[in-house]
Chains A and B, each alone.
Chain A
């Protein structure tokens, strides 16, 4: 049950939502489309589902050309951000909808719906109406409804976007487990990098209608292909053209030869994590992410010694470059000015 979207272009008036995008999704995989709003990720998902028609390109679902087919003939299950619950139908009838329009025997429908409601842990709420459910319950109902017709692929458009933080976390783990049980090819859209990293086998990073990079979460985090990917997957300090993750900024109480002095501006405690905001001698600001233990001796106004464990630089085309020359890592203003002119 693979998905291929080949050379997809989609415009809304003057705005180019997708610019010649090609994406292959392998069978049984759980893929995240990750990007900021307006990056085209939802549009790509809707083009695959047939809810939006591309201006150019092809969509192939499990080997069959689906480009010209309406959504109902594509064998996709779709889950919407705002649930799209059928408000006038009970939970049971919502889930049964796809089977009942296919005129399946009543007994079979009832059995299948019970199975699915059990799977999404809504067994006791079958006779309720959507308005009597919480957001998380509605979204689980929507998922059961999509799964009822045994779709070839499951597409989820910001499925947890409308839920509060706690429920969102719970449903993430739950989607992951569900996928491990059912192994249906799944693509979900999110703008939350943590959600993508936690749930997906593979992440597709999108920006301005194009794909920036595709890879497993760890690979993307550790070897980002360009500055956009690096800064979208987690916080970064940008010092000239040098990028360093806050958790790679090491704080030392004594100089060690390669370190640089820095003045502590502010310390923020976030439970286990502590954020230390610093100012370098050249006036640049950066922050370090550290633990409560390491931060214990630190206080605002104190001078510490800073050393990056790892840094990255990318040239104007986004490709990674190694810093050359003997200027210190944190003071490459000259190089930066060359890049930005």
Chain B
């Protein structure tokens, strides 16, 4: 039956309903397979034999030390990268200087270089035979196979996040608010704390979340420079690998779960602490 008139059909209405559900299921199945299922399995396996083994694994001194070390490294690396990242973003957005494009490229190097390479390059510089290592050893400073190199490796791999999150926000807000603050009598320092920082807070927050997640989860570079000395230079990720290779699956799963919970808590805390921005 064909009537002479054509009915206007809104895009995405009746005709495409099937394809809409199709697209949704593809996205959901994809996420389920690569994200939800594996993480869910870790959770399930951890508690497979009840709470007792988990508590036992948690109270293991090596696990606790690994947890302490992971948090300590993140607590050093994240603030340093945050300060550096905000400073660098301000420099790149608001100043013109020769070599700016080079600096911008340099900041992305940690994204491009494999963490394993980062670890090896740190050993080349700070290791016993490295070109700074000899001098450091003579002066009794231990970098490789100790906390300093692990912090350095973590800083290296989590360097770009704050810069890359803050740069677009700075570009968007422009300089007029800062200039207005200047004409109202604010010093550059006052302007930064009272105007610029609150304006870029969203970008900084997100950058800090990503930096923290990266710092907590770092494995490749840290595992190379740490020497994996259990109870001394073993972080949670290194600890997970070690337990897994020793067939202590509950220990491995428990530590994994601890990592996941810390990450979750940070994300939640940031969301809660994020200031309410009225109307926007």
Contact = CB atoms under 8 A, between A and B. Distances in A.
Interface in A59-92: 70-74, 76-78, 80, 82, 84-88
B275 A51 contact: no
A146 B183 CA distance: 8
Nearest to A73: B185
Contacts of A73: 185
A101 interface: yes
Nearest to B279: A131
Interface in B221-280: 275, 277-280
A191 interface: no
A71 B177 contact: no
A149 B184 contact: yes
A132 B177 contact: no
A126 to B, nearest CB: 13
A188 interface: no
A146 B280 contact: no
B130 interface: no
A314 interface: no
Contact of A51 (B183, B185, B194): B183
A145 interface: yes
B183 A132 contact: no
A232 interface: no
Contacts of B177: 84-87
Interface string B181-198: 111111100100011001
Contacts of B171: none
Interface residues of A, number: 31
Interface size class of B (residues with CB under 8 A): 20 to 34
A287 interface: no
A101 B279 contact: no
A131 B278 contact: yes
B198 A145 contact: no
Contacts, number: 75
B183 A101 contact: no
Interface string A138-153: 0000100110110000
B199 interface: yes
Contacts of A82: 176
B277 A101 contact: no
B176 to A, nearest CB: 4
A84 B185 contact: no
A101 B179 CA distance: 15
A72 B183 contact: yes
A88 B275 contact: yes
A71 B183 contact: yes
A98 B185 contact: yes
A76 B180 CA distance: 11
Contact of A146 (B184, B187, B199, B278): B184
B251 to A, nearest CB: 46
A128 B280 CA distance: 12
Contacts of B277: 87-88, 129
Interface string A243-267: 0000000000000000000000000
A85 B173 CA distance: 11
B185 A149 contact: yes
Given A87-B199, A101-B194, A49 B279 contact: no
A46 B177 CA distance: 15
Nearest to B177: A84
A132 B278 contact: yes
B130 to A, nearest CB: 46
A129 B278 CA distance: 6
Contacts of B187: 72
A160 interface: no
Contacts of A77: 183
Contacts of B180: 78, 80, 84, 86, 142, 145
A102 interface: yes
B200 to A, nearest CB: 10
A74 B185 CA distance: 9
Contacts of A86: 177, 180-181, 195
Contact of B182 (A72, A128, A132): A72
B278 A71 contact: no
Given A72-B187, A84-B176, A88-B199, A97 B181 contact: yes
17 contacts: A50-B182, A72-B183, A72-B184, A72-B186, A80-B179, A84-B179, A85-B177, A86-B180, A86-B195, A88-B201, A88-B277, A97-B186, A97-B194, A129-B278, A131-B279, A132-B278, A146-B184
Given A86-B177, A87-B277, A88-B275, 20 more contacts: A49-B183, A71-B179, A72-B183, A72-B186, A78-B180, A80-B179, A84-B176, A86-B180, A88-B198, A97-B181, A98-B186, A101-B194, A102-B185, A129-B277, A129-B279, A131-B279, A131-B280, A132-B278, A145-B180, A148-B184
Interface of A: 49-51, 70-74, 76-78, 80, 82, 84-88, 97-98, 101-102, 128-129, 131-132, 142, 145-146, 148-149
Q: Which 6 A/B pairs are nearest by Cβ-Cβ distance? A: A98-B184, A131-B279, A84-B176, A129-B278, A84-B180, A78-B183
